[in-house]
Amino acid sequence: MVDKVLRGDTKVFEIIIKNTKGLVAQIVFKMVYNPEDRKDLAQDVFLKAFKDLSGFRFQSKLSTWIGQITYNTCLNYLEKKKLVLINDDENDTHEESLETINKTINRDLVNVTESLILKKELSEILKCEIEMLSPIYKTLITLYHNEELTYEEIAQITKLPEGTVKNYLFRARKVLKERLLLKHKKEEL
């Protein structure tokens, strides 16, 4: 498809847009709060992708490359607006080992997830709590859990080291767990 677009078949680019608009929307909607800016940024992403398509080197999936453009476009937007990328209170970690906490959080998230499936209103609670996360955490949670991207793919999109992606996902899950437990009775969850 890339070759066809580069040879002048712009109709094929519509297929690329159709295949990647979900990923672009997920990243933009998780990182940017202003609805008008979201639309502009999504259009800007596809314009950049179209202009820079000759620079695509087939070293990753095309969707990952467009995801990277989306993420960088959103980061630039947030930096220009001087908006917070990661809240400091989301970065507090305790002395427990990362592996122990991660296992506990994953187990608790699985339990929470099972409960959420049974009770629709709890699903809304989780969505609201995810929306309250900082843009980076919200985006990483979405890319990993909703888009089911691998750590490696997320690292390519965000240009963050894979270890940082894992660490940020761990922190985001921890913040979610703490907020859910703090705001809602355990019986509800």
What domain range includes position 68? 2-80
- The count of domains in the chain is 2
Structural domain ending residue among the three candidates 25, 53, 80: 80
Asked if residue 97 and residue 170 are part of one domain, the reply reads yes
Residue 189 belongs to a domain: no
> Mean pLDDT, to the nearest integer, of 80-101?
55
Structural domain ending residue among the three candidates 54, 80, 106: 80
Residue 66 belongs to a domain: yes
Q: Which tens digit of pLDDT belongs to each residue from 122-172?
A: 677 778 888 888 889 989 998 998 888 999 999 999 999 999 999 999 999
Query: Does residue 181 carry a pLDDT above 70?
Result: yes
Alpha-carbon radius of gyration of the chain: 18
Name the CA dihedral angle for 174, 179, 180, 183, rounded to a multiple of 10 degrees.
Answer: 160
CATH of the domain at 70: 1.10.1740.10
Asked if residue 148 and residue 113 are part of one domain, the reply reads yes
Residue 132 burial class via C-beta count within 10 angstroms: exposed 0-12, middle 13-18, buried 19 and up: middle
pLDDT band at 98 (very low <50, low <70, confident <90, very high): very low
Asked if residue 150 and residue 119 are part of one domain, the reply reads yes
Who contacts 102 (Cβ-Cβ below 8 Å, separation ≥6)? 170, 173
Structural domain ending residue among the three candidates 80, 115, 133: 80
Q: Cα–Cα distance between 29 and 130 in angstroms, integer?
A: 12
Asked if residue 45 and residue 74 are part of one domain, the reply reads yes
CATH of the domain at 133: 1.10.10.10
The predicted pLDDT at position 82 comes to 73
Residue 85 belongs to a domain: no
Q: Cα–Cα distance between 75 and 24 in angstroms, integer?
A: 13
- Read off the DSSP letter of residue 28: H
